[in-house]
């Protein structure tokens, strides 16, 4: 079974990754992991504490390659670095969980989480989505909405909700 796991890189993401990794290992499938960086998150990362080092550290790619690829794809260099670092972190997490490197596709995108998750699921022909589920107050649901709920209602494939409260 090929699964797509969506993570927000927050508390509980390891639990969701672990569940998806185990499911893929048991079924001999692949794990496609995606993190969607929202506009607000991107802005926070660019201007937050340590942002000058976050743009150049930890991607595992030489700086000249990063600059060339960003220019070729007409992408802002700091955005490219942020996406590359996120993909590297996601891959490392799954390898640590025992998933074979060749069975991992790590994807980082910017945009609206629900639309990007659906797009990645279609592009990779996954069998199921695995997402974390947090308890939110009524006000939290009203103000922030629920990506999980929206995906449950609009997905054309099964959605597995992993409870992550209390982690």
Averaged pLDDT for residues 35-52: 64
Average pLDDT over residues 124-141: 76
3-state secondary structure string, 115-166? HHHHHHHHHCCCCEEEEEECCCCHHHHHHHCCHHHHHHHHCCCCEEEEECCC
38 phi, psi to nearest 5 deg = -75, 165
What per-residue confidence (pLDDT) applies to 143?
A: 40
Domains (range + CATH), the chain: 3-38+80-163 (3.40.50.620)
- Residue whose structure tokens are 């590297």: 88
Confidence at residue 157, expressed as pLDDT on a 0 to 100 scale? 94
Average pLDDT score over the chain: 76
State the pLDDT at residue 163: 86
What's the pLDDT score for residue 56? 38
Residue 167: is its pLDDT beyond 60?
A: no
For the chain, the distance separating the N- and C-terminal CA atoms, rounded to the nearest angstrom, is: 27
What value does the mean pLDDT take over residues 65-91?
69
- Percent of the chain scoring above 70 in pLDDT: 68
Give the pLDDT score at 44: 62
């Amino acid at each position: 079974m090929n699964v797509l796991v969506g993570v927000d890189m927050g508390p509980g993401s390891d639990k969701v990754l672990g569940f998806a990794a185990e499911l893929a290992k048991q079924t001999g499938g692949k794990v496609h992991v995606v993190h969607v960086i929202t506009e607000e998150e991107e802005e926070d990362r660019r201007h937050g504490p340590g942002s000058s080092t976050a743009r150049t550290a930890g991607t595992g790619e030489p700086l000249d390659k990063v600059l060339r690829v960003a220019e070729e794809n007409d992408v802002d260099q700091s955005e490219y670095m942020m996406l590359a670092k996120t993909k590297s972190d996601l891959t490392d997490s799954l390898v640590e969980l025992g998933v074979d490197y060749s069975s991992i596709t790590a994807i980082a995108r910017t945009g609206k989480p629900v639309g990007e998750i659906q797009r990645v699921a279609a592009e990779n022909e996954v069998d199921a989505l695995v997402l974390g589920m947090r308890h939110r107050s009524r006000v939290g649901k009203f103000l922030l909405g629920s990506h999980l709920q929206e995906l449950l209602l609009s997905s054309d494939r099964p959605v597995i909700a992993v409870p992550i409260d209390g982690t």
